[in-house]
Amino acid sequence: MCRFPFLDGHGIWISQLVVHSAHRRKGVASTLCAMCWQHDATAWGLVTSHPFAIKAMETASKRQCDPTLIAAHATSLVKTARVPYASASSIRCTSTQSLIDTRFYVDHSEVNAIVAELPNWRLGNLGEGDEFFAFTFPTCQ
C-alpha cells in the first residue's frame, strides 16, 4: 500500500491485493484490507480486475464505492498518489462506472459474469485492458 497527501489529509492506495485460490472466501482479503485501513484517511482504494477485492475493501472500511464521488476526485487521486501505471492510464468515471485502462489484457468474461450477479454493483463492466478504479471516501466528501 502507499499513503499520499490528499485533500486535507491523506489517501491510502492498496497497490496489490491477491489471495491464493485455496484461501478465498474465508475473509483473508478483508483482513488484509483492514490491516491497511486508517480511519482518518480522506480516500482509500485500489485498482483491480476483480469485484471481490473491492467488496473486501468496502467491508474493511465500512464504506461503499460511489462512482460519482470517485469521478469528482479521480484526477487528483492519480496525480497525488503518483502510482506510475495509473499516471499513464486513461480513467473513465461517470455516475455508472469507474474504470481505468491499465492495459491489463485478460479475459474478463468470468469477472463480468460475477458483476452481473452482484446486487447494487455500481462500477460498471470491464472492457479490454480495463480494471476497476475503486475508492471510498468519508460520507462528508
Q: Confirm whether 117 is domain-assigned.
A: yes
> Which residue, chain included where needed, has cell 506510475?
84
Examine the pLDDT at 59 and tell me if it is beyond 90.
Answer: no
- Which residue segment(s) compose the domain that 93 sits in? 2-136
Q: Which residues of 55-68 are buried (b: 16+ CB within 10 A; e: fewer)?
A: bbbbebbebebbbe
Q: Confirm whether 105 is domain-assigned.
A: yes
Examine the pLDDT at 49 and tell me if it is beyond 80.
Answer: yes
Please compute Rg for the chain using Cα positions: 14
Per residue in 72-130, pLDDT tens? 999 999 999 988 888 889 999 999 999 999 998 999 999 999 999 999 899 999 999 99
Does pTM top 0.95 for this prediction?
no
How many independent structural domains does the chain possess? 1
Q: Confirm whether 141 is domain-assigned.
A: no
Q: Confirm whether 52 is domain-assigned.
A: yes
Examine the pLDDT at 22 and tell me if it is beyond 90.
Answer: no
